[in-house]
Amino acid sequence: MHPINEIRGSISKTLAGKRIVLGITGSIAAVECVKLARELARHGAEIIPVMSKAATKIVHPDAIHFATGLEPIIELDGAVKHVELCGDTSSQADLLLIAPATANTISKISQGIDDTSITTMASCALGSSMSIMIVPAMHNSMYTHDIITENIARLKKAGVTFIGPKMEEKKAKMAAQEDIVTAICHVAGPKDLEKTKILVITGSSQEPIDDIRYITNFSTGRTGVLLAQEAYRRGADVELWGGKNMELPGYVKLKEFGSVSDLDKMASSARADIIIVPAAISDFTLKSRKGKISSSKAMKIKLEPAQKILGTLRKHKNTKLIGFKAETGISSKELETRALKRMREHGLDMIVANLLEDVKPETTKTLIITPKKIIKFKGQKIELANTIYDIIGGKA
């Protein structure tokens, strides 16, 4: 068994059973394809690699063979793989992904020129209405060239989806791996949350002391971002509310909040089928002062209990509401007791509870509690997001 099968589906089964033709062109960004192919496999996909001759000068075919478990197709022959994989046949793959895509390859595809294995695959895919996604990577002066812009527009009109690029250092760089995988899952995934509106509220609130300072906490909002990402991957209509100064993904609708009071006003008009609240919302607020308080002498501040956002959100009767509860320095049994109390108090459909000492940057240990069962989870935060949606959908 090839080692790729040991990691296939290790993060999620979102792309299980999906066959993706990965076209690799002669951009220096081709070095990222080993990691990209393996990440797609971790979500369950089978990757069929196709390389241009120029790409083989950037990354060795053996590296791509290792990453995918299959020898890359470099030259087309009597096996007519371009027809088998991308033509109108019963063996057609689910997606043609060209990553990275050079200006040369994009222009040739837009003009119907078939002189490499990849451009020929693309020609068949266009003719058979197969899904095509292109990830550009080139110098900025090439990407903004009028002719390249026209060729990209022409392909978009033909139904091709473009991912990225990210503009840095005068270059149109290949989109981040996470953004590519998310876009692919959204298009090729099971769509089990299609036509479902999901609101995720994440990050931390900020309670102002004066015009310069505020009280907050250590929350990064990472779990909430992963929940929004996974909902989008499963086809949901996703909205993400995040605390200020967070780095948020651009593929979902975004709103920023500051204080608990700001968030409470937003919550009163929230509309979604499912609302998930991993946000670290302050339990206390205070009356802020104008200007900047002098630091030359000691100062006392008076904290008052803040509005409970879950209470406001629960007023939306037809919404499935999922809360989170974090504690520290208590036993697992006490954590369960407090989580159940919070669940009953606000009429939650599910609550996810953990101890802060069990939370790491990318991993966590939690209790997932529903009215019918309690699930003990330990693993990556992205796996937690998958588990939550599987429970919502009755799959776990």
Reply yes or no on whether the pLDDT at 334 is more than 90.
yes
CA–CA dist 139, 172 (Å, integer):
6
Q: Which CATH superfamily is domain 197-283+302-392 in?
A: CoaB-like (3.40.50.10300)
Query: How far is C-alpha 38 from the geometric centre of its chain's CA atoms?
Result: 16
Ranges in the chain annotated CATH 3.40.50.10300: 197-283+302-392
Q: With beta carbons less than 8 A apart as the criterion, state whether 321 and 312 touch.
A: no
Reply yes or no on whether the pLDDT at 49 is more than 90.
yes
Q: Say what the pLDDT of residue 396 is.
A: 66
Reply yes or no on whether the pLDDT at 288 is more than 80.
no
Q: What pLDDT digit, counting tens, does each position of 156-196 carry?
A: 999 999 998 999 898 999 999 989 999 999 888 888 898 99
Structure tokens at 357: 């000492």
Q: Say what the pLDDT of residue 36 is.
A: 97
Structure tokens at 335: 């954590």
Q: What pLDDT digit, counting tens, does each position of 111-148 carry?
A: 999 999 999 999 999 999 999 999 999 999 999 999 99
Which residue has better confidence, 355 or 212?
355
pTM for the whole structure: 0.79
Predicted confidence band at 320 (pLDDT cuts at 50, 70, 90)?
very high
Residue 27 main-chain phi, psi, to 5 deg? -100, 150
Ranges in the chain annotated CATH 3.40.50.1950: 4-188
Task: Please compute, for residue 350, the number of CA atoms within 13 A of its CA located in the half-sphere on the CB side.
Answer: 23
The topology under which CATH files domain 4-188 is Rossmann fold (3.40.50)
Which residues neighbour 90 within 8 Å (Cβ) at sequence distance 6 or greater? none
Q: Say what the pLDDT of residue 12 is.
A: 84
Q: How many CB atoms lie within 10 A of CB 233?
A: 29
Residue 15 to residues 20, 61, 94, 186, 374, Cα–Cα distance (Å):
9, 24, 10, 10, 28
